[in-house]
Amino acid sequence: MAQVTVTLDANLAIDAMLLSGTKNPQDAVELVVRDYLARGRRTETRTGDAADGHRASTDRPAAQEG
């Protein structure tokens, strides 16, 4: 597996560690990214994939007058 090195603000890493309950910054960031991706997949599953964005439009056709 390829690895990526990222530089983060120390306070940001510490906050992520505290909230995630991990003991090192790498585990915290990995957990946060995995959660973010899973959340995105759940959203796509519920709403359709990103290419279907035009269907989620809030524009509604005007009511027909008879």
**How many other β-carbons are positioned within 10 Å of the β-carbon of residue 25?**
16
Residues 6+ apart with CB under 8 A from 22: 16, 28, 31
Tell me, yes or no, if the pTM score tops 0.75: no
Instruction: Report the C-alpha gap between 51 and 21 in whole angstroms.
Output: 36
The residue type found at 53 is G
The pLDDT score that the predictor gives to residue 19 is 93
The pLDDT score that the predictor gives to residue 55 is 57
The pLDDT score that the predictor gives to residue 23 is 95
Whether 51 shows a pLDDT value over 70: the answer reads no
- Burial level of 19, CB count in 10 A (0-12/13-18/19+)? exposed
Whether 63 shows a pLDDT value over 60: the answer reads yes
pLDDT digits (tens, 9 = 90+) for 3-39: 889 899 999 999 999 999 999 999 999 999 999 999 8
The residue type found at 17 is M
